[in-house]
Structure 1
Amino acid sequence: MATGYNLIHQPCVPVRWRPGITAPETGQLPDRVGFRELLLRSHDIECLAIADAPAHAALLRILYALTARVADLTEQGPDGDWDVRRLDVLDAGRLPPDGVEAYFRDFEDRFFLFAPGGRPWMQDPRLTEQCDGAKTAGVNKLIVTRPSGNNHSWFRHDTDTAPELPTASEAFLSLLVWHYYGPSGRCSAREVNGMKSASATAGPLRTALSYHPEGDSLFETLLAGLVPPEDEVIGREDLCPWEQQELPAPDRPPRHSRGPRSRHTGRSQHALLLLPDEDGTHARDAFITWAYRGERMPREDDYLIWQTSQQGNRYPRPADAGRALWRDLDALLLQHPPAGSAHPQQPRVFRSAVQVSEDLRVRALGFDQEGQAKDTQFIDASTPAVLGYAEDNDPRTVPAVGRLRQFGEMYGRRLDRAVKSAWSAYVRDAKADGAAWTAEAGARYWPRAEAEFWARFRLLDGTGDVADGGFDPAATRRAFLHLAQEAYDAVTEPVTRTVRGAKAVSQARLDLYGTQPKTQPGTSPSPRAKTKEPTG
């Protein structure tokens, strides 16, 4: 049996404790805990305290799978009473200790982070034979926030010749990031059954933004984040990778999910193996390569907003560091939000999360990045308590949330078009994009629009007794228009001291109102078009 760093017992997960919780003996609570203590004391923990958003999103999916197993919520059951059984766990106020202890006792040998000669957690020990030991990835490649090879520095300066070894806890979280957000493209060569390849497919969450219900404790968060299994799901068949008896065959089609647990933990396109230092407390190196050859696992996930392209292809809403979370709110609360040709679909988890609590918040976690190597920015944002306004819970009020969002976005688009038109007319170049002006206008408008959105959101009636929640479309229109006008005036003011500039700014200003100037005889029609306002 392997010995060393076991994720069940070792402090690997950063947490934030609920106010007033103290340790019985010393009063001091640890900043990190192992999986066992995390689940046993999830009711005492406020939330995970993971700085890297993609690691946070990945670990939540692992914890959902563990929660479902220890709480006996892996299938609907003969009576289809899954919702009732989840509420029974909620009423108990904590996850069942017997279930936690029994699970980790059965799978203790599968949770070793380093297991030379064994089967380390979420890793493939065959890589020592299938990959070239002289061409490992290195720890700088493993830790996504570090520069490696010829890449630019992001958060810190590191060199491949003298890397700082990551602790086991850091390596554990980075392992998760690779499984869920790993890039496509060239990787370490892996030879299987005489066939050698060095090309990997992007991870299942790469470029995507995931949305999670969040409660007042980690216990509430985990229960709210569970997705009801489909009627045909059999719990003993819906297994996580570390519960499988055999390692997957890389030269065969990838395994298909058998339910929520395997769907959210077993879709990695990358195979990794961490190599420990002599003490077994740090990772000294890593193998990183492809997991399956020639075929991508189906992109399924219940925590993403799914959209449809013009070609009819389904894809997750991408992470965008420049897009605030309030702009996605109606797509989270409405099963069929009014959001144009993309036809966004509400993440499945939000159809039942409100059963746990009406005071749940939404947390968005993701990574603004490209499909291959380029990484831009982590995204970690949260809302106030909003799930009480979910469509099934408050059908009279929640449509107002959609119209409120539409007004904010409409005047943001009009502002962008107006400053582009003003710049183009001022420089007398129809192809000028006015990037400097649009960036400044957006920086002035969107933060204030977000504050306006939440201020008006808090005024909506949540009882369901008032039609449209008391939403006032005329006042909302005036408020967002005023913000757009102020941003437009501030950005364009420097050029209004000349006749040419004043004329360009005056004419383009009409775009803020969704109108366009009449064309003169012999001139081309203006490319600006009237924007359809939200109904209401």
Structure 2
Amino acid sequence: MIGTERRALRFDLLREPWIPVVTLKGEPETVGLREALDRAHEFRWIQGETPTVTAALHRLLVTLTLRVYFDGSAGWGTQWSELWHRGPFPTERLDRYLNGEGDSTGYRDRFDLFGDRPFFQTPDIPEELLGSTAKLTMFRAAGNNATLFDHSTQEDQVELSPAEAARWLVTVQAFDTGGLKTGKLPSQPSLGNGAATVVIEGATLRETLLLNTTPNWADDTLDPRPGPGDQPVWERDPAVSQGSKEADKRGRAPSGLLDLLTWPSRHVRLRGRFGANGVVVDGVAILPGPRLSTDLRSVENMAAYRRTFTRKKNVPGKGVSSPWKPVQLEELRGVWRHCRELLLADEDNDSQRERFRPRNLDHVAARHQGKDALPESTVYTIRVLGQQLDPNRGAVHTWLEEAVPAPAAVLRAQPRETRLEPLMGLAVSLADDVGDELGKLEREYHALLRDAPRAERKLLQQWFWPRLSEHFNDYLVDLGERIRENDVGAFEPTENWANVVEETAEEAQHRWVELVPRRSARNLLALAECTSGYQERVRGIRHEFDRNLKSYDPRPRTEDE
């Protein structure tokens, strides 16, 4: 009976509304996959209920864009330019993909949430393993999940609409936490937790999808048409959860970009039924899926990485490098602090690289040169989305989303042609150093008085870091405009930024001083001692910044440097 009811259920992800978008007029709308692509030129962006939902839906639509509209009939650059300049996406290509052509029967039936081959799911999971849908929505308590966002529990009977369940299904595959899953099976966090997701925004959703559609890295010819081994998850044979534990534990390498973008981090099965008001989802099982056996940095196109070098005697080049670290979002310090890793190209020599910007930004930078080059004056917005897990990586601590401007002139800058890296490094280091001194001021004061728990000693940080984000965005835009004119023009924006940092820190300090109790001479003496030392250290930091800025040489490097 259960099987019969399941086959009768239907939720067509192509037609039914489940993807939340914002129109060009700023109005929210919910659409199906088909409408999201056919009307992508009419939408401004995708806006999910959390940053992780937004990121996961972007990756899904980028996959479809790459799979459907790039058919290998022309070179990658030529085909991309044609799609960019033509207006709406060609509907006939989506029709051919869904309905089939020649020997292909098409893939229309692969987008049903409850079909014989349910979308993004593993149909062989036994019915007895299905439990509360609270495990699917990561803001609810289930298993290892904390009740930070919601006070429901795993035993609560939670019913989801098919649209909500579909969004969280895609999100869980990309951003599920680690910890024990259905059947008490341990798992690693899904791949999206490995680094913040970087999405380049255009003026419309259509532009955004094209800007993030990069050549297939698994194909040496850079022809985006996937080979037989590189397929999105819905084109593959259904995964098998039973008996595949050892294979999942060993992991595998992705066969291409389509495979990676739809990586099945979990074996999932949804249970639907007919409710009083239509179809609802009332059960789910989530089991560990295949692990990625490849270093994520070598294949991920929407993430940035960094590392440092330690100079040692008798070691050529920059010295010994630390392991690569992904750029992640933080609660207080803005992601703009990683502007070099996010925006700037680095040396071609991999052994000497200090940063690795997202490959989708490499693709955009290349579109601003050669034939049909996009305007140099363009300023993109990159949305950086992600989440922080708790120390055990078994629950979501918080979701985060930030935006950073990306001037085309900055993206195109080459290490030997412009010396933006040390200049931007100087600007970020100034903020870091002053921010550290603010934290030190607060810690020293409370240490002298011994009257405040450590958790409360972050007021100055809260009044300093968030206020710098908008100012740094202005700095980046100004920097892009100036370097299009001449390299020396970068001095003035950087000096203005230094003044903003100093003024913001001073405002935070004054605000803090006003709130500090003055109940006794002991309070006043501690305050005077700490603020005096702080101000002297900040003056030294600014003096060193000014000295380094004056010695900054904007001229291109020679081959010997």
Tell me, yes or no, whether TM beats 0.5.
Answer: yes
Q: CA 1:239 to 1:172, structure 2 compared with 1: closer, same or farther past 3 Å?
A: same
TM-score of the two chains, using structure 2 as the length reference: 0.78
Q: CA 1:198 to 1:463, structure 2 compared with 1: closer, same or farther past 3 Å?
A: closer
Question: Any conservation in 2 of the 1:137–1:288 contact (CA below 8 Å)?
Answer: no
CA RMSD of aligned residues (A): 3.4
Where do 1:204-353 residues align within 5 Å? 204-206=191-193, 208-230=195-217, 231-232=219-220, 235-237=226-228, 238-245=230-237, 247=239, 249-252=244-247, 253-266=250-263, 268-278=264-274, 281-292=279-290, 298-299=295-296, 300-308=299-307, 312-336=322-346, 343-353=354-364
Structure 2 CA distance, aligned partners of 1:478 and 1:165? Answer: 54
Q: How much does 1:156 deviate?
A: 3.9
Q: Give the match's secondary structure for 1:383.
A: strand
Question: Any conservation in 2 of the 1:53–1:380 contact (CA below 8 Å)?
Answer: yes
Q: CA 1:3 to 1:137, structure 2 compared with 1: closer, same or farther past 3 Å?
A: closer
Q: For residue 134 of structure 2, what is the aligned residue in structure 1? A: 140
Structure 2 CA distance, aligned partners of 1:309 and 1:179? Answer: 32
The one-letter amino acid paired with 1:10 is E
Q: CA 1:153 to 1:471, structure 2 compared with 1: closer, same or farther past 3 Å?
A: same
Give yes or no for the alignment of 1:59 onto 2:57: yes
Structure 2 CA distance, aligned partners of 1:533 and 1:331? Answer: 25
Q: 2:393 aligns with which of 372, 389, 397?
A: 372
Q: CA 1:396 to 1:464, structure 2 compared with 1: closer, same or farther past 3 Å?
A: farther
Structure 1 CA distance, aligned partners of 2:24 and 2:406? Answer: 18
Q: How much does 1:255 deviate?
A: 3.9
Q: For residue 386 of structure 1, what is the aligned residue in structure 2? A: 407
Q: CA 1:309 to 1:318, structure 2 compared with 1: closer, same or farther past 3 Å?
A: farther
Q: How much does 1:501 deviate?
A: 3.4
Q: Give the match's secondary structure for 1:277.
A: strand
The one-letter amino acid paired with 1:450 is S
Q: How much does 1:36 deviate?
A: 1.0
Where do 1:17-96 residues align within 5 Å? 17-19=23-25, 31-72=29-70, 81-96=75-90
Q: How much does 1:401 deviate?
A: 4.3
Q: Deviations over 1:320-357 (max 9, x none)?
A: 222323223232210239xxx99332111101124267
The one-letter amino acid paired with 1:513 is R
Q: How much does 1:247 deviate?
A: 2.9
Give yes or no for the alignment of 1:419 onto 2:439: no
The one-letter amino acid paired with 2:165 is A
Q: CA 1:336 to 1:468, structure 2 compared with 1: closer, same or farther past 3 Å?
A: farther
Q: For residue 178 of structure 1, what is the aligned residue in structure 2? A: 172
Q: Give the match's secondary structure for 1:361.
A: strand
Question: Any conservation in 2 of the 1:208–1:367 contact (CA below 8 Å)?
Answer: no
Where do 1:143-154 residues align within 5 Å? 143-148=137-142, 152-154=146-148
Gaps of 5+ in 1: 21-28, 190-196, 516-529
Q: How much does 1:180 deviate?
A: 1.1
Q: How much does 1:127 deviate?
A: 0.8
Q: CA 1:289 to 1:108, structure 2 compared with 1: closer, same or farther past 3 Å?
A: same
Question: Any conservation in 1 of the 2:252–2:290 contact (CA below 8 Å)?
Answer: no
Q: CA 1:418 to 1:312, structure 2 compared with 1: closer, same or farther past 3 Å?
A: same
Q: For residue 526 of structure 1, what is the aligned residue in structure 2? A: none
Q: CA 1:241 to 1:149, structure 2 compared with 1: closer, same or farther past 3 Å?
A: closer
Q: How much does 1:502 deviate?
A: 1.6
Q: Deviations over 1:474-503 (max 9, x none)?
A: 443333123223323432453676334322
Question: Any conservation in 2 of the 1:412–1:446 contact (CA below 8 Å)?
Answer: yes
Question: Any conservation in 2 of the 1:208–1:317 contact (CA below 8 Å)?
Answer: yes
Q: How much does 1:52 deviate?
A: 1.2
Q: How much does 1:307 deviate?
A: 3.0
TM-score of the two chains, using structure 1 as the length reference: 0.81
Q: Give the match's secondary structure for 2:267.
A: strand
Question: Any conservation in 1 of the 2:328–2:335 contact (CA below 8 Å)?
Answer: no
The one-letter amino acid paired with 2:472 is F
Structure 1 CA distance, aligned partners of 2:496 and 2:145? Answer: 50
Identical-residue share of aligned pairs (%): 21
Structure 2 CA distance, aligned partners of 1:296 and 1:404? Answer: 38
Q: Deviations over 1:132-186 (max 9, x none)?
A: x444331111111122358554444435454331111110111122111112221
Q: Deviations over 1:390-417 (max 9, x none)?
A: 1348964854544433333332223223
Give yes or no for the alignment of 1:409 onto 2:428: no
Structure 2 CA distance, aligned partners of 1:501 and 1:418? Answer: 9
Q: 1:202 aligns with which of 189, 214, 233?
A: 189
* Structure 1 runs of 4+ with >6 Å offset: 530-533
Question: Any conservation in 1 of the 2:178–2:395 contact (CA below 8 Å)?
Answer: no
Q: Deviations over 1:236-293 (max 9, x none)?
A: 3321111113536553243422222112212x33110000012572211001111238
Gaps of 5+ in 2: 1-6, 100-105, 310-320, 368-373, 553-561
Structure 1 CA distance, aligned partners of 2:547 and 2:36? Answer: 49
The one-letter amino acid paired with 1:256 is A
In terms of fraction of residues, the more helix-rich structure is 2
Q: For residue 557 of structure 2, what is the aligned residue in structure 1? A: none
Q: 1:102 aligns with which of 93, 96, 106?
A: 96
